[in-house]
Each structure stands twice: as C-alpha cells, then as structure tokens.
Structure 1
Amino acid sequence: MTSTRTGRWVRLDGTTNTRDLGGLPTTDGGRTVPGRILRSDNLQTLTANDVRRLVGEIGLRSVIDLRTTAEILLEGRGPLRDVPEVTHRHFSLLPERGHHTDVFAVEEDDPQIDLPAGWAESLLPRQVADHDAGESPAVRSYLGYLGQRADNVVGALRAITVAGDGAAVVHCAAGKDRTGVVCALALAVAGVPHEEIVADYAMTADVIDALVAKLATSPTYADDMVTRDVASHTPRAETMDRVLTLLEERHGGPAGWLDTHGFGADEQAALRARLRD
C-alpha cells in the first residue's frame, strides 16, 4: 500500500479534515492527479486566508455539498458563497421532507423555508433492506445512501464530472460518511484499488479528535458530539471494506452499481479523466 498520508492533507485554519484525492495508485500503474478533487468537512468556518488559498492557489471552482437542507440553512452562508468564481451544488444523501437536488433558497438573502426546532425532524425515517439488517450501523447507513438517495449519489458524481477546469471539493459535516461514500465511488471509477479506497476512508481517524471538537462548537451538531464518545465517531476500515465487498457481490463493483443507476460507461470515462491524466 502506498504511503501518501501526510502529503495529501490540505491544512486550513477553518477545517480539520480536508485532503486531496490525488496521488493514489491505480490498478494500471498510474496515479490520480492532485488538484482535481478534494474532500472535506464543513466549509462554513473557512478564514479569509483559507478562501484565498483554496481559490487562488489550489484553483477551487466547484463545491459539492452533501448535507441536508436543514444543515445548510442552520449553518448559514459560508464564505465561499461570496466568491463568484465558485459554483455550489447541493445533493442531500439523507431522505428529507421535500427534495432539493441543487442549491435553492439557500442562495437567497432570506430563504423562505420553515425549519422545525430540531433540524433532524426534517429527515424522513431511514429504511433498512431486510438483507442488510445484520450489517453494522455504519454499513447500514452507507447502504442507505445508495438505496434511498441513489439519485443524489449519482448527481454528486455527475457534478464532479462536469465541473470543468479547476478543483472541486466534496463535503458534508464531518467529511467522513456521506463524503466517504461519494469519494469511494469516484476513486473506484478512477481505477484506485479496493485497499487504497479503504485506506483513504480511514484517514479521517488521524484527525478525529480535532474534528469532533470542531463540530461540538456548532449548535447544529453539538448534541451528537457530546452524547457519543470519540470512538463512536471514528471511521473503521472494515466499514468501507464491507461496503465495497457488498457492491462487488451484488453489482460487480461500484462501476456496476453506477451503471445500474444511470451513470454509464461514457460518464464514468469522463469522471475517470477528471481524476487521471
């Protein structure tokens, strides 16, 4: 397995879990290209220096936000929203009351969307397929994204594919679960082998203490951070290993799942080109 852990981190003042998907080996002897796709935790607390670095130095031009509608509205407009060169796309991976597959009223100064006192109340109950009932809670959650929000999983990958010149960043709140699933599929399409995808997913464990501490400062996430210990938030390699194994068994791999859900060979080739020279 390659050792690219330290060089792939993008150290910013306002995030704790930002890294580049470049530099990973592929099954044909190549490597993914740096500066094309980043993955990250919440971008709401970026500093002015962070924005200058992302936009000016790294060339960020597209944000793919995987949070729920309520999370976006409760957290407010992040600083990248004021940068005209950067486009924002929204693809919630959780079932919600009302579907939004792009940035909507959150782009307005005074969004006219009513939220309940508890933002989680805007989420619909998550369904678990009978054949997945015996899986671990994390695996069930990830399969839930694929089963209940396949439209938005594909939509997020499509947004990455057509982002054009410059870098794209995929993020959710922590940058480990929803972001982990979308990035795992993107890396698989690029030809990154199973074990390297698992290793990338598990890298968040390196920064989990700082990540939990950051989220605990936000009223949106604080309750969940204080009611569960750090170990419960720590990603485990076996979780992503199991998800990829199930995709292999059921669909012939991530590419097969994507093909079944309308992201076919041509789009997969275009996504692969985004991550490869």
Structure 2
Amino acid sequence: MTTASMDTAAIDITLSAPVNLRDLGGIPIDGGVLREGLAIRTDDLAYVTSDVVDELIDAGLTAIIDLRSPAEVAATGRGPFGERALGYHHLPLIANVADSMAEGAPDLSHEGMGRMYVRMVETAAPQLVTALNVIAYTPGATAFHCAAGRDRTGVLAAMLLLVLGAHDDDIVADYTRTGENMVAIMQRTAPVMGAMWRALGFEPDARQASTKLLEGSMEVSMRSLLGTLRERHGDALAPLRAAGLSDDTIARLSERARS
C-alpha cells in the first residue's frame, strides 16, 4: 500500500508556526561565511499561519522548494502560501514514501536513515540539481522544506553546503541541530504522519518506532551519507554533476552566498 491512499479527511491540522526553521547563514564556507537571506531550511510550510507567511515574505522570501512526495502535497496542499505571489517548485526527493522503507517495517535507526539519504542523492540527483539552480538564480531568499525539515531537507542542505565548500563537521553540525527540535516536530506533524502510517499499512506501533529518531546521535546519519558517497563515487557531488550540476551554477551559488 502506498501513500496514494492517505485518508485526507482524517487529518485534523491546526495552523502553526514552524518548529524547525533556520536560515543557513553563518555557516563557514569556502572563502568566508554563508550570508543570511539566501537559503532557509524548515519543516512543513503547508500549514503555517498567515502571520508566518507575512513575516517570511517581509524578510525577503521569494521562492519555496517543496521536497515532499506527491501524496503529501495532495493531502495538505500549499496552505496560506498558495495565496501569495512567490515562486513554488515541487521537487519530490521521494516519489513514494513506501518505496523508501525497508520491506516489512520502516528502518528509522540513524544507520537506516543514512542509507536512505544515499539512495535519495543517487536516485533524485536531478531534483537536487534543479533545487540548487532555484537557489542560485532566484532573487531573494529561498526556503526549502519537507515534512519534518530533517531528512529530505537535510539532504538538500548538505548538498548546498558541499557545493559551497563547507567542511563536513559544519554540515553535520547544521544537520544535528534538528535533534533539539524533534519532540516539537513530532507533535506538530502527528496528524499528517499518523495518516501516512495508516496509508502505508502500519498502525500506531509504527509511531513508536519513530522514537528511535530521539535516541543516540543524529551525527551517524549525515556522516554515513557523506562517507558513503565518497566511497562509491570519489566525489560526494559526483551524482549531482552527472545529473547536470554545472560549474556555472556552482559559481553563481558561491557568488550569491558571499555577496
């Protein structure tokens, strides 16, 4: 069973502010520090309040990259942002959430998430390249999100920071900051995630499995992604280069990141 059968009528969503939103500004990159106002990573923007929309747009947000699956987008739409004039780019890093899971049960260990991240980069490289081009050529700030702002969002953030020459330790440090927000994330996304688990054929026990995400060190997942990509491809960005990541885009991102 796939997320295509998600029961949207059973999803009781209350509009709320993101709990895992942060500007990537301040992270050391090649030649300096990433400036604020270029790239914002966040949890789901589909059900934010109108006040949040106004605040982000007033601060310079001009585009959104939505990394959620088609079924997730069909379930909750774009919310208040859909009523505003700004760029919207749907670039799902996982077309079908069920396909990203181990057969029989979701592997939500940190090691399992790392393996999923590698598959994401290798199979969704074209989407990641498009996302990097959006960030490179969109005036103003671009916000990118999935549901929790942790996994798909974390992969895009890692690829952007790699392109900009960030050190692995700084990429990992940004990724693990989400750990401080996991309890709030799980509370905020519970209605949607509950419907998704049921659509995938898992009852509430699957939600208990998600508590693995609160155990141990998140660092394992991101270091696994970076290390495995280098082991397999020599260059962690090789899958993206093969999918069309150009020197011009890299140069444009580097220019915008420091200007």
TM-score interval, normalised by the smaller of the two chains:
0.7 to 0.9
Q: CA contact under 8 A between 2:132 and 2:160: conserved in structure 1?
A: yes
Structure 2: where are the runs of 5+ without partners? 1-14, 104-109, 199-203
Of 149, 158, 161, 2:133 maps to 158
Identity between Structure 1 and Structure 2 (%) = 32
1:171 is aligned to: 145
- The residue type equivalent to 1:65 in the other structure is D
Gapped regions of structure 1 (runs ≥ 5): 1-11, 97-119, 129-134
Give the match's secondary structure for 1:45: coil
The aligned residue for residue 95 of structure 1 is 95
Number of equivalenced pairs: 231
Higher relative contact order (Cα pairs below 8 Å, separated by 6+ residues): 2
Distance apart, 1:217 and its partner CA: 3.0
Residue 47 of structure 2 is aligned with which of 29, 45, 62? 45
| SS of 1:136 mapped into structure 2 | helix
Counterpart amino acid of residue 71 in structure 2: A
Deviation per residue, 1:44-93 (Å, 9 max, x gap): 2211211111001x211000000011100101331111111x11001111
In structure 1, distance between residues paired with 2:178 and 2:83 = 28
Alignment of 1:99-118 (within 5 A): none
**Residue type of the partner of 1:15?**
P
**Match in the other structure for 1:199:** 173
Cα drift, residue 265 of structure 1: 1.3
| Pair 1:127–1:266, CA change in 2 (3 A) | farther
What SS does the aligned partner of 2:40 have? strand
Per the normalisation by structure 2, the TM-score is 0.80
Match of 1:137 in 2: 112
- Matched letter for residue 161 of structure 1: A
Superposition deviation, residue 27 in structure 1? 4.0
User: Quick one: which amino acid aligns to residue 19 of structure 1?
Assistant: R
Post-superposition CA distance 1:128-180 (Å, at most 9, x none): 9xxxxxx93112211111222222122222222222x2110010000110111
Between Structure 1 and Structure 2, which shows a larger proportion of helix residues? Answer: 2
| Structure 1 Cα separation of the partners of residues 24 and 231 of structure 2 | 26
**1:15 corresponds to which residue?**
18
Give the superposition deviation at 1:188. Answer: 1.0
Distance 1:233 1:160 in 2: 31
Question: Alpha carbon RMSD of aligned pairs, Å?
Answer: 2.5
Aligned to 2:188: 214
- Point out 4+ residue stretches in structure 1 off by more than 6 angstroms: 125-128
